[in-house]
Chains A and B, each alone.
Chain A
């Protein structure tokens, strides 16, 4: 783990296809990227295939979807060849996923504390008392002020921001080497978003792991991530360091940037994106 430049995930020429009544729809086409010990953002509009890509890495695509790739390597595991059993041991432990709504990731009939304790018991073979103590400590780590009260809450009783922090506290225990976050803060208010992101930031930096941050929010990805992948209609149109986003070359990226209203560069009229059919070639 000492080497910060080593690669955690390599994806080469990944495609995801959905058979439909009128032929095959390709949701993701020939996508290649690598993730090291860094925060990488995937940006795109709805239907760009960004979430589908994230799910395909976890092998969580819908059953009718067909995933093809010339290579999908996660650390020492070939994700193309891994059995469903191996995938189950990877999901949650070595690759973790955070979704927009934490309610779907938590068991609705178990209290939050029980679910975290379960992870502790599973990973650290701790006694129930020990697990409870560890759980409360983890809840405190993610800036939950009243861990004793939160421990006994059910998922529907916690707010969105609290739910995301609970998801993050589980990751502190499971210690995955890659986190895939799909719009983790889109449903949160600005102030809560800042808190959740800074916990996530600390988690990734301190543990020296990789993060794939899927979002539609350009400003957010630009300020949070190290590198940005821009997707359009299932293709990667550009990969660029977040700091250099202003110098982006691809007209689509430029169009997105110019379409955004900004406090720092006010414009009377926003530029409207002109979609070029040529972007769909290759």
Chain B
């Protein structure tokens, strides 16, 4: 069963003559429980696709179906709760003057949910934070702890889809590992569908089943995890990105490699 269907999706910013088309006609489907990756360099439109799916960017054309339901530019509250966004910057995505408890209570109030304290305790446990963290303010937490809070806030409405916008790129390597493990556990336990946006192919390959490689608003290739790991991707641009996640390739060595590949 497919959880997300995007058909001829195009997203633009601005109006009329000056409108800037950031995403040009992409189509994809994501199955329930699957993790779909969007990879590319800055400005390629990967976060914009995520924004359109989340309901943040409203200037899109084409069709989006979420959980079998066609979505319009305006969404109902129930439609918004089906997917939740986790932001890149854990320092900017949590209200600095709200305690963690207040931050988690907010969505429950909006949606008129019952058993509020119980739900807050459950979600804090789920993301591996001690219960008394609900009395703390964000500035008393580390980056990794804040990102856990951001994930908890996204989960508290019991969504079917998590949209992850570079969730670990602002974190240290050791903290990144913790968050990636947490995301894997949650996906299994809560049967979530993920779309993960990242510039790091190693992170994407770790978490995703299928990966779309984007360049200037379009998909150049949709590769499977297997293709990435076995290095059998088709597009040259994908290979450049793969080299990038391995580190620096000295020019002399790279030239030798290209010569070898041609001959």
Task: State whether A190 touches B250 (Cβ < 8 A).
Answer: no
State which of A216, A224, A259, A263 has its C-beta within 8 Å of the C-beta of B201.
A263
Task: State whether B250 touches A201 (Cβ < 8 A).
Answer: yes
Q: Check B240 for interface membership: any CB of A closer than 8 A.
A: yes
Q: Check A243 for interface membership: any CB of B closer than 8 A.
A: no
Q: Check A62 for interface membership: any CB of B closer than 8 A.
A: no
Within 8 A of B (CB), among A199-215: 201-202
Within the assembled complex, what's the spacing in Å between the Cα atoms of A259 and B42? Answer: 25
Q: Check A107 for interface membership: any CB of B closer than 8 A.
A: no
Within the assembled complex, what's the spacing in Å between the Cα atoms of A266 and B172? Answer: 19
State which of A224, A260, A266 has its C-beta within 8 Å of the C-beta of B173.
A260
Contact A223:B247 (CB < 8 A) given known A261-B205, A266-B205, A270-B206: yes
State which of A46, A217, A261, A273 has its C-beta within 8 Å of the C-beta of B180.
A261
Q: Check A130 for interface membership: any CB of B closer than 8 A.
A: no
Contact A223:B181 (CB < 8 A) given known A261-B202, A270-B206: no
Q: Check B212 for interface membership: any CB of A closer than 8 A.
A: no
Task: State whether A222 touches B247 (Cβ < 8 A).
Answer: yes
State which of A194, A255, A261, A266 has its C-beta within 8 Å of the C-beta of B249.
A194
A193 contact set on B, CB distance < 8 A: 244, 248
B190-230 Cβ-contact flags toward A at 8 Å (1 or 0): 00000000010111011000000000000000000000110
Instruction: Return the chain A residue nearest B201 by Cβ.
Output: A263
CB proximity of A4 to chain B, nearest CB, Å: 18
Task: State whether A190 touches B181 (Cβ < 8 A).
Answer: no
A217 contact set on B, CB distance < 8 A: 247
Instruction: Return the chain B residue nearest A190 by Cβ.
Output: B244
Contact A263:B172 (CB < 8 A) given known A190-B41, A269-B184: no
Contact A223:B249 (CB < 8 A) given known A189-B42, A191-B244: yes
Interface size class of B (residues with CB under 8 A): 20 to 34
B219-263 Cβ-contact flags toward A at 8 Å (1 or 0): 000000000110100000000111111111111000000000000
- Interface residues of B, dominant DSSP: helix
- Chain A contributes a number of interface residues (CB within 8 A of B) equal to 35
Task: State whether A263 touches B202 (Cβ < 8 A).
Answer: yes
Task: State whether A263 touches B41 (Cβ < 8 A).
Answer: no
Q: Check B178 for interface membership: any CB of A closer than 8 A.
A: yes
Q: Check B174 for interface membership: any CB of A closer than 8 A.
A: yes
Q: Check A264 for interface membership: any CB of B closer than 8 A.
A: yes
Query: B residues near A, CB below 8 A?
Result: 41-42, 143, 172-178, 180-181, 184, 199, 201-203, 205-206, 228-229, 231, 240-251
- List 9 A-B pairs, minimum CB-CB distance, nearest first: A190-B244, A223-B247, A219-B247, A259-B177, A270-B177, A273-B174, A261-B206, A189-B41, A45-B172
Instruction: List 24 A–B pairs whose Cβ atoms lie within 8 Å, in order of A's numbering.
Output: A45-B174, A189-B199, A190-B199, A190-B245, A193-B248, A194-B249, A197-B248, A201-B250, A219-B245, A219-B246, A219-B247, A259-B173, A259-B174, A260-B202, A261-B176, A261-B177, A261-B202, A261-B203, A266-B229, A269-B184, A270-B177, A270-B181, A270-B206, A272-B177
Query: A residues near B, CB below 8 A?
Result: 45-46, 189-191, 193-194, 197-198, 201-202, 216-224, 255-256, 259-264, 266-267, 269-273
Known: A190-B243, A261-B203, A269-B181. 10 other contacts (CB 8 A): A190-B241, A194-B248, A217-B247, A218-B173, A221-B247, A261-B205, A263-B229, A263-B246, A266-B229, A272-B174
